């Protein structure tokens, strides 16, 4: 893409809730981008599932993920918040991940305080590292960013499920003091807890809206009133895709053809989405050269 990247910080400065759909492959990216969202969210769960066919349980490497960051960010000028898991190791790994995500075009990296191997934030069995160790990761991430203030560091804590909300809030405070630009308290379990998070901090906050997950689903207006700046919907896309593909493939298996199945995108419109229009224009422009051969 030659179009200049838009700024996540500029969006945050508007003080309006940013709604970001989860993207996990190039088709979901193109569809979300065409819908006109101001910001996109690279979901770790969906990306690992789509790219590797594996659960989001610390199995994807830095190389796996930065590959996807580069592909996604290279295809759009819309800012993308990118899941960076635990930073893929120790402090040196965190610095390497931040530098790599910046080169790849990410607008932000999300780092979390889980033990390695990490797990999806709305599943069981998550354990967290010492808060001081995570704070060190945030300090290293800020230093690795250097003078690129447009690149946003998001600190996520998964302490709520195992250690309670008070500890999660205390950790978020520590990560903020370490230099994080945004805070992400994962999987609060009630509206009261969401409100408590919003009251506690006067910095941009992330709300993770996982359909069927551990956190209730307020409206966008309610989230903004609570004080949240970014509402991510990481699972909506791959859950919708999974449901649609399951229905389509079951129909094909049962009937041995696709006749009568009408819940499909228009083929020509989908081809345009993927970029065939550019191919058609190229062919038209240079057809005369082929005819000369």
pLDDT mean values, one per 10 residues, the chain (293 residues): 74 96 98 97 96 92 97 97 96 98 98 83 77 98 96 96 94 98 96 96 96 92 97 97 97 97 95 93 86 64
Q: Containing domain of residue 282, as a range?
A: 243-292
Residues in the chain: 293
Q: What is the value of pTM for the model shown?
A: 0.93
Whether 24 contacts 49, CB under 8 Å: yes
Whether 3 is covered by a domain: the verdict is no
Which strand ranges, in their side-by-side order, compose the sheet holding 108-112?
A: 182-185, 152-157, 108-112, 80-83, 40-42, 18-23, 230-233, 206-208
**Residues 133-189: tens digit of each pLDDT:** 999 999 999 999 999 999 999 999 999 988 999 999 999 999 999 999 999 999 999
The reported pLDDT for the residue numbered 95 is: 98
The reported pLDDT for the residue numbered 280 is: 92
The reported pLDDT for the residue numbered 211 is: 92
| CA atoms within 13 Å, Cβ hemisphere of 164 | 3
Are residues 195 and 251 both part of a single domain?
Answer: no
Are residues 282 and 200 both part of a single domain?
Answer: no
Are residues 60 and 196 both part of a single domain?
Answer: yes
Residue tagged 């991940």 (tokens): 97
Whether 138 is covered by a domain: the verdict is yes
Residue 91, number of CB atoms within 10 A of its CB? 16
Domain count along the chain: 2
Are residues 44 and 71 both part of a single domain?
Answer: yes
Are residues 220 and 259 both part of a single domain?
Answer: no
**Selection from 172, 81, 181 nearest residue 141 by Cα:** 181
Are residues 35 and 140 both part of a single domain?
Answer: yes
Residue tagged 């209730």 (tokens): 216
Are residues 103 and 57 both part of a single domain?
Answer: yes
Q: How far apart are CA 230 and CA 36, in angstroms?
A: 16
Are residues 251 and 166 both part of a single domain?
Answer: no
Are residues 17 and 38 both part of a single domain?
Answer: yes
Could you report how far apart the first and last alpha carbons of the chain are, in Å?
A: 33
The reported pLDDT for the residue numbered 1 is: 43
The reported pLDDT for the residue numbered 6 is: 81
Whether 191 contacts 163, CB under 8 Å: no
The reported pLDDT for the residue numbered 288 is: 80
Whether 101 is covered by a domain: the verdict is yes
**Residues 79-95: tens digit of each pLDDT:** 999 999 999 999 999 99
Strand segments, DSSP code E, in 35-79 are 40-42
């Amino acid at each position: 893409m030659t179009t200049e990247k838009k700024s996540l910080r500029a969006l945050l400065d508007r003080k309006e809730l940013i709604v970001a759909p989860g993207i996990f492959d190039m088709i979901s990216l193109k569809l979300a981008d065409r819908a006109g969202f101001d910001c996109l969210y690279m979901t770790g769960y969906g990306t690992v599932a789509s790219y590797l066919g594996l659960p989001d349980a610390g199995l994807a490497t830095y190389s796996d993920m930065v590959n996807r960051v580069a592909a996604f960010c290279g295809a759009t000028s819309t800012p993308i918040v990118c899941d960076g898991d635990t930073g893929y190791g120790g402090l040196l790994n965190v610095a390497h991940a931040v530098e790599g995500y910046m080169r790849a075009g990410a607008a932000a990296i999300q780092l979390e305080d889980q033990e390695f191997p990490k797990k999806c934030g709305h599943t069981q069995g998550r354990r967290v590292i010492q808060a001081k160790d995570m704070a060190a990761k945030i300090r290293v991430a800020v230093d690795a960013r250097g003078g690129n203030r447009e690149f946003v560091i998001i600190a996520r804590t998964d302490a709520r499920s195992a250690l309670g909300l008070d500890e999660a809030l205390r950790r978020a405070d520590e990560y903020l003091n370490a230099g994080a630009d945004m805070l992400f308290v994962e999987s609060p379990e009630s509206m009261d807890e969401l409100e408590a998070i919003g009251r506690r901090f006067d910095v941009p906050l992330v709300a993770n809206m996982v359909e069927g997950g551990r956190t209730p689903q307020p409206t966008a207006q309610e989230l903004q009133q609570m004080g949240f700046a970014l509402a991510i919907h990481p699972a909506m896309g791959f859950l919708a895709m999974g449901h649609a593909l399951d229905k389509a493939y079951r129909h094909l298996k049962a009937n041995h053809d696709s006749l009568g199945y009408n819940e499909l995108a228009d083929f020509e419109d989908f081809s345009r989405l993927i970029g065939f229009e550019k191919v058609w224009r190229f062919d038209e422009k240079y057809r005369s050269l082929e005819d000369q051969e």
